[in-house]
Amino acid sequence: MVDCEPQPGRVFRDNAVLDDALAGFGDAADLRSPWFTGHSSRVARMARAAPGQLEPAAAGLVYRAGLVHDIGRVAVPTGIWEKPGALRPEERELVRPHPYHCGRILARSPRTSPPDQTPVSRHSQSQPAAPRLSRARRLLFSALPQLLSEPNHS
């Protein structure tokens, strides 16, 4: 039976093509609400532009992490994201697992979830049982203070 399973069909010829594909997924997740339009690409650009923070290989990894860091939002009903005002506790419970969904989505490909890394969103850090941060996430978070102190970080 296992021999009948199809082999993975998509191979990216270089990182630029992979970046374009991941940007498409990030943009699609950002469409969940007009408030998110362009969010993932801005996070990715900010991360890549962290002056002097990262070696080139790490900068590419952090850029890709920025593109898809909130892709798990697609698992949350759109009405929750567009609701005016504060969320009720039961609505927060619908939002809370979106980092888990991000990890599940990214785990489908060895290119986006190497076996030694667990993708999680920045939001899960407040959760007591949050999985460890992937290398890309640690690099992204380490660059944030400098990114946010830059005058033009959009």
User: How many CB atoms are closer than 10 A to CB 128?
Assistant: 4
In-domain check, residue 96: yes
Which residue do the tokens 């690099």 mark? 139
CATH number at residue 17: 1.10.3210.10
Question: Of residues 8 and 100, which shows the higher confidence score?
Answer: 100
72 contacts 147 by C-beta, under 8 angstroms: no
Residue 26 clears pLDDT 90, i.e. is over it: yes
For the chain, the average pLDDT equals 74
Specify the number of domains making up the chain. Answer: 1
User: 91-103, pLDDT tens digit by residue?
Assistant: 999 999 988 888 8
Euclidean distance between CA atoms 110 and 70, whole angstroms: 18
Give the other-Cβ count within 10 Å of 25's Cβ. 17
pLDDT of residue 9: 60
| Residue pLDDT, tens place only, 76-92 | 999 999 899 999 999 99
4 in a structural domain: no
In this prediction, residue 40 carries a pLDDT of 93
**Is 0.95 topped by the overall pTM?**
no
Which structural domain range is residue 113 located in?
Answer: 11-149
Find where tokens 């599940």 sit: 104
Tokens for 67?
A: 């593109």
Is there a domain that residue 2 lies in? Answer: no
- Higher pLDDT among residues 125 and 38, named by residue: 38
The reported pLDDT for the residue numbered 5 is 65
Residue with the bigger pLDDT between 141 and 118: it is 141
| Domain-located, residue 50 | yes
